[in-house]
Structures are given as structure tokens and as C-alpha cells.
Amino acid sequence: MPLVALGSLTRRYGDVVALDDLTLELEPGIIGLVGANGAGKSTLIKILLGLLEPTSGQAQVMDLDVRTRGHEIGRVVGYMPEHDCLPPDLSATDLVSHLGQMSGLPRGAARERTAEVLRHVGMYEERYRPIGTYSTGMKQRVKLAQALVHDPRLLLLDEPTNGLDPAGRDEMLELVLRTGTEFGIAVILASHLLGEIERVCDFLVALDAGHLLRAAPLRSFTERTGVLAVEVEEGREALAAALAARGLTVVPDEQLLLVAVDDQGTYDLVRDAVVELDLPLVRLEARRHRLEDLFRDEGRAA
Amino acid sequence: MTGPADTQPTLATSAGGSIYDLGYQGYHGSRVPRSGVVMALLWQTLRACYGIGRGARAKIVPLSLAVIALLPAIVAVGIALLLAQAGPAAARFEGFSPIRYSTYADIIAVFVMLFCAAQAPELFGRDQRFGVLPLYFSRALARTDYALARIGGLVAGLSLMVLIPQVVLFVGRLLMAPDPVTGWEVESPFLLPALLQAALTVGILGGVAAAIASHTPRRAYATAGIIAVLIIPPVIVQLFAGVGRSGLDRYAALASPADVLEQTNDILFRALAGTSSGTSRDLPDAVYLVAAVAWIVLTFGLTVRRYRRIAV
């Protein structure tokens, strides 16, 4: 049974196509959903949750059709929205246990689960205070806790690190990783930051303007260990030709050349090419987060 | 189980008192069916009606209004009991009391409306204001379930406010009766009209409040809107009373929920308990009853439709 199955899934807002003819099957795991803002990540998540109706096509979550069995899907998924969704005058304990009941837990079980889940996300004494007094990091933890309280089989996280500082970001990703790997809960994590996806996901779905660019295990992306940005003061075209002749994937980007790093040898090839052409080298920089630029191009070619 | 150290040396660390991080635990217990989830939300809504589960300040307005609505019944029963003690001659004065089953709905109507105006925005606007709806709609209940649970909670809360005073009157008068059997014979005919009128009151006022409050996340707008629809039309109807009561304008009063309720109260008590009042009506009785049911169906329908359509 696939975790998620999409068949020609399309969603339009008036004339705007948010998702265009998406066909895809996903197996359980930690799945990264990557794309720029507006690529259709949130729309896809909301359709899977039954919050939005597809315009056409099919979508199933664990063999449950999103159109007809939304409330059954609601029992087995947890959702962490991108935006604020917490009433400020309730405490984390009260809110999470109420939402646990709304997911089908009996009252007593909802209370017990709330205590466990808030501890899991690292909320202690402050969980009895009104949420309005929390920091952004604490609010994000409460959002994660409410998504976990009913022990879902699938967790849908929409930009879970939004608004967090680097330390908070690391902690949130660590939590997501632990939840996904140690407890066997499938995760779909939407982010516009490829770096985050690379750190926690084992499968990657790339969207661009509603189109599916690529869906593949992360390994197939990271066999190429990243992107090297090369800047030369002159002779950019000559260098691009020389690198391409050496079998490297090269994409021009403004005054830079983006080179796909296949292995350690790539660095030597770039160095040798620059020396050979005797070009004034300004910069050699690892640009992992620009990986998407490369496969976006591949997507167009395909 | 004996001490771990002597039988299983591998457990020595736990015997030494190490603390383990149990981490995340799965849940393998029972789950509640969909109807149970709806009931849980209804129950939470009923509590929220009276500010229970919220801070102390949230309780002041609803509880005060409910107590004010109860006071006339307590006063009436108290005075009647005192008069009964003073002897049969004095007890006859009780017959002049203006506080009766048939007048109670009118007496407390404005407080019930204020209750609606104060509490419905809490029940129907709050989740929109704070963006909580996606958390509900992505769970084990459908959008319609959510709407029905919220409406049900408000209806239950209003029913308490409207029915408890009638119960106090009823029990008080039973206690005053010479014997319980006579008391029951005299008082029981009032139960059905009181119950039906309470149902219409709760349905119409709650329905109007829910329909308005569910259409705006803004508290102040909702409160103002509810007051505007419930309290202002009766004033207009009064202003135009006696002016041109021949044509279609007689139907204008049906657009005022409060006036419809005033009429159904009179109709129900006259038909079912034989009370008489001086109220004269411009339209046949059935029209008011149909209008009352139409108000309930319309407002509940609008509320459900709102939650089915709202983008989250």
C-alpha cells in the first residue's frame, strides 16, 4: 500500500494553476517536498488532508480517497500548518489534549498522550502557561506536539522551521528526524530550503510552479555531492566549454558558473581547467542549496 | 520479581537508579468513533458558553446573564412561599404575580439575546481569528460535524439558561400545592408549551447568533451584528405598530426574530395551556409557527454552509 498516490492531480485557483497534472506514488519514509514559495507545496499538503478539494484527478492517502474519506484520513495523519494556528489564551496542555480528543482519543488517553508528547518536543513547566506568552520556538514545538498527539501514521509538516533561529532550526529538524526514524512515523516535510530537506529526508519530491520536477531517493541527488560556484573575472564561456569538455554538468548563472560536483575529482578538474586557460579566478564556493537550480534545468529538458 | 541485581546482573544499571529517556511512545489504546468526537466538541462548546476552561474573566458575562435570567423565578417562588405561609387569604395574591411560565420568555428575552451577542463570537469566531480551523478540519471530524457540534453546544448552553428558571418555577409551585397530585394536575399542562417555546427561543436566537458570528472572525462585528438583528427590529416593529396593517406589510414583523418569538409564546400557551392574553395578531397563528421554524432552518443552514465553504 503506497503512503500517498496521486493520479493526474490538478488544482486551480481561478486561472492560476497551483498543481498541474501530478502523478506520483510515495512509499513510507521521510519525504521532502521542496520548491520555491508558490510552487504548490502547501496546496498539495492541504489536498492530502482534505482541506482543499482537487479540481481534477485523484489523491489517496493510505488507500483512502481524499474526497470521500477525509475524516478517516484525519485519524491517521498529523498536520503542522505553516501559519499561526494556536489560540493565545489556552495553555499548551489544554489545547493539545483537546485536539487529541478531536483526533479520536478518549479523554483520559488524550491527557496522558499530551503529557508524553509535550515532553517529547521538549516542553516542560511552561506547558501550563498561556500560549500567548511563548517564544516562536516554543509555539513551533506545540504545533508539532498537536500533530503527534494521536500517534499518526503520517506527519505532514509545512515549513516547520519557519521563523526559527539557527539553533531552533537545528532542534526542530532533529526532532523531525527522531520522530521519523525512531518511531516509524512517515513524514512529508515541505520546505523551500533544500539544505533542510537534505539533512532529514530520504526521498525528495521537487515541485516548480505546480509541476513535478522530480521524485527520487535523495541518494540519487546527493551522489552528486553538491554544486560548486565558480566565478572568473573573464573568460567565462571558455571555461564553461572546457569544463563541459571534461564531462562536467555546467549551468551559467549570472556572472557565475554552477558546476555539479560528481565527486572529489571535480574540484581538481575545475582547478586544472582554470589554470590551463590562465583565467583570473575570483571565487570557488560550495553552493549546496543551489542544487535545485540544476535539477530544475533537468526537469525542463526531460 | 526479586531484586534485579542478584538474578540478572545486566539490570544492575537500572537498579542503580539511572534515568531513561523513554522518548516517544506509540498509542495502542481504544479510539472514539466519529460521533464521540462530535460529542466531545459539543461538550467543550457547552463549557465555553459559560467560560469554563477559560480564565476567570471569560466567566463574568455569561454567568451574570444566566443568574439575572434566573432571579425572577427565584423571587417569584420566594414571595409565593412567604405568602403561602401567611395563610390562604394572602396566598390568593400569588395569582397576581406577573412572573409565570407564559410570561417568563418575554421577561428574560433581552438577557438571552445579550448572552447570544456576547458568547456566540467566542464559539464561532475564535477558531477563525486564531487560524485554528485547519487543525480541526484535518482531524477525525468533517466540516459539517464541526458546525453541528458548535451549534449543538450553543443550543445546549442557551437551553440551560432558558429552562432552569422554568424548572425552578415548576418545582416551587409543586411545593406550594396543597398536595403533590393536585399540584401536578394544575402545573403539568404548562410543561409542554414552556418546552416548545424554549426550543423555539433557543433555536431562533442561537441560530441567528451562530449564523452571524460564524461569518466574521471579528468579535466586535459579530456582537454588533447580533444585537442589530435581534434587538433593533422589534423597536422598528413597535414604531410602525398600528400603521397600515392591511397589506403585505403585516408580514414585515416576521423579519424580526424577537417578534416572531413573542407571538409563538402566546400562541403555544393559549393553545396548549389555555392561558389568555390581550395580544392580537395580524396574521394566522400557523404563519408565525412556520416563520419560527423557517428562521431556525435558515440560520442553521447558513452556519453549516459557512463552515463547508470557508477556505482554511
What is the C-alpha to C-alpha distance for residues B304 and B210, in angstroms, rounded to an integer?
10
Residue B94 lies in a domain: yes
Question: Cα separations (Å) of B233 from A81, B224, B259, B295?
Answer: 42, 14, 8, 15
| Domain tally, chain B | 1
CA distance linking residue B289 with residue A35, whole number of Å: 58
Instruction: Report how far residue B229's alpha carbon sits from residue B211's, in angstroms, rounded to the nearest whole number.
Output: 11
- Give the pLDDT of residue B97: 82
Tell me if B253 is assigned to some domain: yes
* Range A224-301 classified under CATH 3.30.70.100: yes
| Residue in B25, B36, B141 closest to A71 by CB | B141
pLDDT of res. B22? 59
- Are the Cβ atoms of A94 and B53 closer than 8 angstroms? yes
Question: Domain for residue B252, yes or no?
Answer: yes
Which pLDDT value is given to residue A66?
A: 95
Q: What is the pLDDT of residue A222?
A: 56
On the question of pLDDT at A301 being above 50, the answer is no
> Which is nearest to B125 in space by CA: B307, B311, B308?
B307
Q: Mind giving me the DSSP string for A221-272?
A: HHTS-EEEEEEESS-HHHHHHHHHHTT--EEEETTEEEEEE-STHHHHHHHH
> Is B181 within a domain?
yes
Checking if the pLDDT of B23 tops 80, the result is: no
> How confident is the model at residue A224, as a pLDDT?
54
**CA neighbours closer than 13 Å in the CB half-sphere of residue B179:** 2
The model's confidence at residue A195, banded by pLDDT at 50, 70 and 90, is confident
Q: What is the pLDDT of residues A125-154, one digit of tens each?
A: 999 999 999 999 999 999 999 999 999 999
In terms of residue numbers, what domain contains B137?
33-309
Contact of B109 with B263, CB cutoff 8 Å: no
Residue in A72, A105, A182 nearest the CB of B24: A182
- Flag if A84 and B130 touch (Cβ within 8 Å): yes
Q: For A78-135, write each residue's pLDDT tens digit.
A: 999 999 999 999 999 999 999 999 999 999 999 999 999 999 999 999 999 999 999 9
pLDDT bucket at A43, cuts 50 / 70 / 90: very high
CB neighbours of residue B160 within 10 Å = 14
Taking only residues 8 to 27 of chain A, the set having a beta carbon closer than 8 angstroms to any beta carbon of chain B reads: none
In a domain, B55, yes or no: yes
- Across all residues in chain B, what is the average pLDDT? 88
Task: Report the pLDDT value the prediction gives residue A300, as an integer from 0 to 100.
Answer: 44
pTM: 0.83
| Interface contact A151, partner B, CB < 8 A | yes
Average pLDDT over residues B298-303: 98
Per residue in B246-279, pLDDT (tens digit) is 566 678 889 999 999 999 999 999 999 888 666 6
**Dihedral of the alpha carbons of A144, A149, A152, A157, in degrees to the nearest 10:** -10
Q: Is A182 on the interface with B (CB under 8 A)?
A: yes
Question: Does residue B214 lie within any of the structural domains?
Answer: yes
Q: From residue B280, how far is each of B185, B272, B284, B285 by CA, in Å?
A: 29, 18, 10, 11
The yes/no answer to whether this complex scores an ipTM above 0.90 is no
The CATH class of A4-221 is alpha beta
Phi-psi region of A171 (alpha: psi -120 to 50; beta: other; left: phi over 0): alpha
Helices (H), B87-218: 88-91, 101-124, 126-129, 133-137, 143-176, 180-187, 191-213
Mean of pLDDT over chain A: 89
Question: Does residue B20 fall inside a structural domain?
Answer: no
Instruction: Please report whether residue B134 resides in a domain.
Output: yes
User: Among A53, A138, A154, which Cα is nearest to A95's?
Assistant: A138
Sequence ranges of the domains in chain A = 4-221, 224-301
